[in-house]
Amino acid sequence: MRKFLLDFVFRSANLCQSQMPRRKATEFPLILRNKAGGRVKIYPQKNRDKQTFIVEWNAGTGRKREARTELPEAKLRATEILSDWEAGRLDRTEISVGRLLYLQTCEEKLGGSVPLMDAVDFYLAHNRNVQTSLDARIVAEQYLDAQRRETRSDRHLQTIEYHLDHFKKAMHKPIRSITADDIDQYLTTCGHTGRTRKNYRITLIAMFNWARNKGYVSGVKTAAELSQRPNVIHTEPGILTPSELRKVLTKADEQIIPFLVIGAFCGIRHAEIRRLTWGNILWDDKLIVLSRSATKTKKRRTALIKPNLMTWLERWKDREGLIVRHGQPHKLTKRAADAAGIDWPHNALRHSYITYAMALERNAAAVAEQCGNSEGEVQRSYKALATEAQAREWFSIFPGVSN
């Protein structure tokens, strides 16, 4: 009987178990969708003895994956992603709260009238070149190297080197980002007189034009050209009287006489005289030939030798080599002026020649051609500073003739 009962119970249990509905196994990959067409996939992954579930979806910038240890957690994450898409939000893991607030602040600053992306596009279009621009100091060095290769005069190179050394100390920024206001502010530090600031500005205009040709800056006009022109107060050039020149010539060292008389009676610049040789003088034609390498403007020109100058130079007619052999003729000139008791004005010889030539000839074009100046500068600075009588006295100074 006991055996029968046990057998009955066993069979009944098996019958009940067979009649219970079986639980369907989950099929992978499990794909969850939403009404907007979004799709997130879940599939298992076994790494050694550890089972994980991978949540995979396309984030727009590429496929993304996240791992969860339990299937319910993976389903919850997939639901969050689909919910975000339906609401039109970014994936909540893509942006922090702080970043979102930053973007909102940017949009508020634009006042709602300009989309943030439009503002970004505008900035990139107008500032991309600034960020890749060469530093102004590098451009200044390249410009100086180019000037040295063009065999500029020593005086010219010294001038622009001095100007640009000051510029490099002041401008630590890309060349494209320099504005006309920057140049204006910089020029206020370049000197006390308008003439000095004008000279600095001229150097900058030349450098910026060179930089534009190289593609370092752009625009019809550069920042240097757009800067304000310094107010230059024109003063009359200082000149010598005929009697003062006679006194200096009587006190001058013999080796400096050619330097003094060529400057006084021919108007050639001091630096140009120092580059001349005796071979540059055409005695029969009464001309001094200045080659391109000798002139400041790099333009060939000739200068007429007046009768009194020819008389002064005749004693050196058979000489060869440089006309001025002393390394510092200005020192010998000052020594002679001091000995004669003369206050020597700046660039006195050239200023005096142009002044007296204008008074005598009344032809600004001819005087400008002789001296390598512009006709306008001759008219503006040297006209009516002396009388014709004074001019005749100046060009009547001969060797051995006293007052």
- For the chain, give the mean pLDDT: 84
Q: What is the structure's pLDDT at 402?
A: 56
pLDDT grade for 219, boundaries at 50, 70 and 90: confident
Q: Answer whether residue 14 shows pLDDT above 70.
A: no
pLDDT grade for 278, boundaries at 50, 70 and 90: very high
Mean pLDDT, rounded, for 154-167:
87
pLDDT grade for 28, boundaries at 50, 70 and 90: confident
Q: Answer whether residue 59 shows pLDDT above 90.
A: no
Q: How far apart are CA 265 and CA 242, in angstroms?
A: 11
Q: Which residues contact 329 (CB under 8 A, 6 or more apart)?
A: 256, 259, 270, 274
Contact 85, 36 (CB under 8 A): yes
Q: How far apart are CA 2 and CA 14, in angstroms?
A: 19
Q: What is the structure's pLDDT at 12?
A: 53
Q: What is the structure's pLDDT at 69?
A: 86
Q: How far apart are CA 158 and CA 147, in angstroms?
A: 11
- Give 144-152 contacts, CB < 8 A, sequence gap 24+: 146/210, 151/293, 152/298
pLDDT grade for 194, boundaries at 50, 70 and 90: confident
pLDDT grade for 140, boundaries at 50, 70 and 90: very high
Q: What is the structure's pLDDT at 105?
A: 80
Encode pLDDT of 341-385 as tens digits.
Answer: 999 998 999 999 999 999 999 999 999 999 988 898 898 888 888
Mean pLDDT, rounded, for 143-166:
84
Q: Answer whether residue 2 shows pLDDT above 70.
A: no
More confident residue, 357 or 7: 357
Q: Which residues contact 154 (CB under 8 A, 6 or more apart)?
A: 271
Q: How far apart are CA 207 and CA 145, in angstroms?
A: 12
Q: What is the structure's pLDDT at 6?
A: 44
Mean pLDDT, rounded, for 21-27:
64
The pairing of beta strand 50-58 with beta strand 63-68: antiparallel
How many angstroms separate the Cα of 352 from the Cα of each of 170, 217, 263, 267? 38, 43, 9, 8
Looking at the DSSP bridge assignments, the partners of residue 51 are: 46
How many angstroms separate the Cα of 247 from the Cα of each of 224, 291, 328? 46, 33, 21
More confident residue, 217 or 261: 261
Mean pLDDT, rounded, for 34-60:
82
Q: Answer whether residue 9 shows pLDDT above 50.
A: no
User: Which domains does the chain show, CATH number per domain?
Assistant: 27-93 (no CATH), 136-226 (1.10.150.130), 242-394 (1.10.443.10)
Q: Is the pTM of this model over 0.75?
A: no
Contact 249, 261 (CB under 8 A): yes
Angle at 83 between CA 81 and CA 86, to 5 degrees: 115
